[in-house]
């Protein structure tokens, strides 16, 4: 794999590395889970971010920067409150990224290397900013999860109670969907039934030589 155009060292992997991209609510985690069921190892940036926000020194920096309002009574970061705050203000979003992104990216490097060493059919990166943070240079293939906007909005309204304006605020921190689609190597349609999506997942893995041998 080529060296990434960033200060993050390039993880080495003996198996294909797949990066998932798409709009907010496109179902990247759903596709990642289907790939896991085919034997792939998933590196989940959201889980890593949750762990990072639980570290005491990170919590101290978050409290200093954003105040007590983004914490639960138990002293943990309230990710929903923090998310609403930072996605409404670009400067605050950048301030949070400065606190957490270096640690998240370092953890992702370690996890990709460790997962690849286990010899799965592929390592899958489920992260919201693969193209924005130049993580595509880690990947042998970037897969775009295609879902019509009205379907994504309905799913997010039902699952998280997000309004269209909240979704739009979160998407403004990412590159336009047409650019993500153009820069992807292949597309998975996740707009219909789970069986339909699973068939697309299996085709993509087969094309990459990453299907689990039965």
- In the chain, the domains with their CATH numbers are 17-207 (3.40.50.300)
Instruction: Give the model confidence (pLDDT) of 165-189 as tens digits.
Output: 888 888 887 889 999 999 999 999 9
pTM, two decimal places: 0.85
Handedness of CA 77, 134, 191, 149 (dihedral sign): positive
Backbone φ, ψ for residue 78 (5° rounding): -85, 100
In this predicted structure, what is the pLDDT of residue 15?
86
In this predicted structure, what is the pLDDT of residue 212?
56
In this predicted structure, what is the pLDDT of residue 3?
38
Chain centroid to Cα 157, Å, comes to 20
Instruction: Give the model confidence (pLDDT) of 36-47 as tens digits.
Output: 999 999 999 999
Q: Report how far residue 60's alpha carbon sits from residue 3's, in angstroms, rounded to the nearest whole number.
A: 34
In this predicted structure, what is the pLDDT of residue 173?
76
Return the number of other C-beta atoms located less than 10 Å from residue 147's C-beta: 21
Residue in 49, 15, 19 with CA at minimum distance from that of residue 134: 19
The ranges of the chain with pLDDT < 50 are 1-10, 213-214
In this predicted structure, what is the pLDDT of residue 11?
53
In this predicted structure, what is the pLDDT of residue 72?
96
Instruction: Give the model confidence (pLDDT) of 139-150 as tens digits.
Output: 889 999 999 989
Return the number of other C-beta atoms located less than 10 Å from residue 118's C-beta: 10
Residue in 29, 32, 44 with CA at minimum distance from that of residue 201: 32
Q: Mind giving me the DSSP string for 61-96?
A: HHHHHH-GGGB-TTS-B-HHHHHHHHTT-HHHHHHH
């Amino acid at each position: 794999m080529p060296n990434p155009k960033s200060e993050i060292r390039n993880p080495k992997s003996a198996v294909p590395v797949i990066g998932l991209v798409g709009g907010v609510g496109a179902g990247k985690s759903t596709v990642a889970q289907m790939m896991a069921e085919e034997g792939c190892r998933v590196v989940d940036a959201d889980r890593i971010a949750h762990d990072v926000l639980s570290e005491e020194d990170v919590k101290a920096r978050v409290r200093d920067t954003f105040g007590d309002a983004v914490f639960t009574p138990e002293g943990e970061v309230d990710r929903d409150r923090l998310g609403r705050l930072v996605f409404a203000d670009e400067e605050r979003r950048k301030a949070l990224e400065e606190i957490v992104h270096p640690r998240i990216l370092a953890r992702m490097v370690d996890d990709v290397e460790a997962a690849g060493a286990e010899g799965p059919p592929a390592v899958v990166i489920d992260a919201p900013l693969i193209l924005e943070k130049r993580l595509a240079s880690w990947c042998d293939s970037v897969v775009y999860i295609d879902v019509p906007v009205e379907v994504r909005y309905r799913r997010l309204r039902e699952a998280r109670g997000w309004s269209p304006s909240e979704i739009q605020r979160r998407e403004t921190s990412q590159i336009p969907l047409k650019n993500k689609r153009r820069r992807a190597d292949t597309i998975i349609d996740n707009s219909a039934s789970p069986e339909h999506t699973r068939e697309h997942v299996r085709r993509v893995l087969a094309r990459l030589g990453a299907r689990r041998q039965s």
